[in-house]
Chain A
C-alpha cells in the first residue's frame, strides 16, 4: 500500500512534530508547543496526528499511533477544535431531528462551490478544488467506519447498509474513494492524498479533522451521524451541478462519473442517514439528539468556511447556494 509522505510544516507546532516523527523518540518539545498553536499550524498538526490512525506515513514508525505524548498533543488540539465548533453552533431549538433536518438544511444559505463550478469556474480553479477536496474524497467514508462497533443493533445494521454502498457493494471498482482516484488520475493529478496536502487551505484540513474527531471519540457518535446526515443531504444536487460544470469544461469521463454516481447514491443515502440510521440511534439513545444537530450544523458550517476560503483565493465574489 502507498505510504503517504509527511507534509510541509505551517508553524512552530507542526515544525516540532514533523521533525520529531521520523526520529520517533522524544515528543516533549511537540507537547510544549501544542497549547499555543493556532490556525493553519494547529490544523495541520492535528491532521498529521489523525493520519497516524488511517495510513501512517513513509518513514514514521506505525507504533507512534498510540505514543502517549502524541495522544496528549492530539487530545489538546481536539479539545480546542471541539470548543470552537460548539461555540459557533446555533442549531434550531426544539425541532425533531428526523422529521425536520432535511427541511432545515434546504433553508440554509451557505456558499456553493458547485454552483460556481457549474456556471463560472475555469479549469485551474476546478483543479485547485479537486486537490483540496482530495484529502477527504480519497478516504471518503473511512471516518464514519470508526462508528460501527459503537452503535446498537438497529443503527449498526442501518449504517452498514449505507457504508456497503459507499464501499462499492463488494466491487472494488465501484468503491467511492477509488472512483475519485480514477477521476484525479484521468485529469493528470496524482491520486494520492499526500500529494496535495500542502496546497489545501486550513479550512479543508479542519473539515477532515472534525470528521475524524467525531469518528474517533465514542462519546461523539451522535455528532458523527448528524454530520453524515447533513453531508449526504448536501451532495446529490451539488453533484449534478459538478457534472454540468465538468462537462462544460471538458473534464474526463472518469471524473464526471464520480460525481454522477453521487447524484443517485446520495439521494438514497440522505434518506437512509436521516431515517434509518439517525432514527435508529435516537430510538435507543434519545439523549443524543442535541449532538445530531451539532454534527449537522458543523458539517454545513465547515463547508461554508471552506467554500469562502476557496472563492477568496480565486478572487471570486461569494454567491449563496
Chain B
C-alpha cells in the first residue's frame, strides 16, 4: 500500500506547506532558502516574517484570508 505524500499542501485560510529544500523568491526578487523539513509559505502577504507564515492570517478578516 502506498500513501499520499504531496510536496505542497494548501491550507484553507492559511499558508502553503512546502516539503523539502527549496529557494523561494519573494515579491522583490530576494531569494530565501528553506531550512526545515517542512516550511509554511505565507499566502496572505501580511506576515511580518514574509515569505514565511507567522500566523498573521489568523487575525485577518475572513475575506482577506487566502482561499
A residues bordering B, Cβ < 8 Å?
Answer: 102, 106, 153-154, 157, 161, 164-165, 169, 236-237, 240, 263-268, 270-272, 275-276
Contacts and interface: CB of A to CB of B under 8 A. Distances in A.
B16 to A, nearest CB: 10
B38 A275 contact: no
Contacts of A271: 9, 11, 14-15, 17, 40
A267 B58 CA distance: 10
Contact of A237 (B36, B38, B55): B55
B54 A263 contact: yes
A154 B3 contact: yes
The residue in A169, A264, A275 that gathers the most chain B C-beta atoms within 10 A of its C-beta is A264
A154 B9 CA distance: 16
A163 B39 CA distance: 14
Interface in B25-67: 35-40, 48-49, 52-55, 58-59
Contact of A169 (B14, B36, B52, B58): B36
Given A236-B54, A240-B54, A275-B9, A267 B40 contact: yes
Contacts of A264: 40, 49, 52-54
B54 A268 contact: no
Contact of B17 (A106, A266, A268): A268
Contacts, number: 59
Contacts of A268: 15, 17, 36, 38-40, 53
Contacts of A263: 49, 54-55
B37 A169 contact: yes
A161 B20 CA distance: 11
A159 B48 CA distance: 27
A272 B38 contact: yes
B40 A165 contact: no
B55 A267 contact: yes
Given A154-B3, A236-B54, A237-B59, A164 B14 contact: no
Given A268-B17, A271-B40, 14 more contacts: A153-B3, A154-B3, A161-B37, A236-B54, A240-B54, A263-B54, A264-B52, A267-B15, A267-B53, A268-B15, A268-B36, A268-B39, A271-B11, A271-B14
Nearest to B40: A268
